[in-house]
Structure 1
Amino acid sequence: MTPAPAREAERILSAAAARTGLPETMLAQGMLADSRGLPAPARAERALRQAVQASRTVDTPPATSAPRLLPHEADVERALGRFFDARLRLAAAPADETARRAFEDCMFTLCVLMAEPCAYAAVREAVQYTEG
């Protein structure tokens, strides 16, 4: 539902569980069912969508008073390429721990390059930076 390292995905799942009062295992089963094309319980699906949307919203406003160093565009392009490759490898083999670590490393690199604490925002900023 959203590009996120394992820790952030756990946080999203916990937030959805806390919001609805449903156990995390029920939400995880709903996510698994959804990934297999089976209907997830409506309450679980709604809570997960709200938690994902909240994770995509950056809580801290960008600092406009201090200048920010911009990364070299070629470095951002390489990092994005590695990110998209790692995401494909992880999608092809979700249980592969090496693929998961590579994906999380790519996410961390993009967060550092783009000075964004939120993984979704880092990818969005990197794409906009290289396109514009």
Structure 2
Amino acid sequence: MATTPAPARVAEHILTAAAVREGLSPPELAEAMYAASRGTPLPSRVDRAVRQAVQAARTRDGAPTTHHEPPLMPLRVDAERALGRFFDARLRLTAHPTDPVTRRDFEDSLFTLCVLMGRPNAHAAVSDAVQYTELEA
């Protein structure tokens, strides 16, 4: 589910469809998803229902969807600030690799870039942020 970019409204529809498919209430499904985020494996029927609902949302009438809305881009100054925070945290982590506070700052800066750039992984987020901030205004 986390790898499927979707607005909150669409995500709610996907999860509701999965709950209905398995005869669960949406709160029951949400509880199972929350437990899974904390390390408890999803029951196989819930996992299957979520996968099927996500796949159905990704396709229309069995054909892959081709319409993509343009991404909502952050303010350039926000991207520059987040990128600077990331590079600063990376330098501090290189200098102090065992410091848990430095590690947490580094991970927080990566998470911020992922959210800001709308990317599911750190490498893509950093790459996109660098390209975005280097564009001429």
TM-score, with structure 1 as normaliser: 0.51
Percent identical pairs in the alignment equals: 63
Q: How many residues get paired?
A: 70
State the secondary structure of the residue aligned to 2:102.
Answer: helix
Q: How does 1:48-87 map to 2 (within 5 A)?
A: 65-87=68-90
CA distance in 2, matches of 1:128, 1:112: 16
1:84 maps to amino acid:
F
Q: In structure 2, how many angstroms separate the alpha carbons of the residues matched to 1:67 and 1:124?
A: 18
Cα deviation 1:102-122 (Å, max 9, x = unaligned): 000000000000000010000
What root-mean-square deviation, in Å, do the aligned CA atoms of Structure 1 and Structure 2 show?
1.3
1:117 is the counterpart of 2:109: no
Letter in 2 for 1:105: D
The Cα of 1:64 is off from its aligned counterpart by 5.8
TM-score (normalised: structure 2): 0.49
Displacement, 1:67?
2.4
1:102 aligned onto 2:100: no
Give unpaired runs (5+ residues) of structure 2.
1-65
Q: Deviations over 1:46-93 (max 9, x none)?
A: xxxxxxxxxxxxxxxxx8621221100000000000000000000000
Once superposed, which parts of structure 1, at least 4 consecutive aligned residues long, lie more than 2 Å away? none
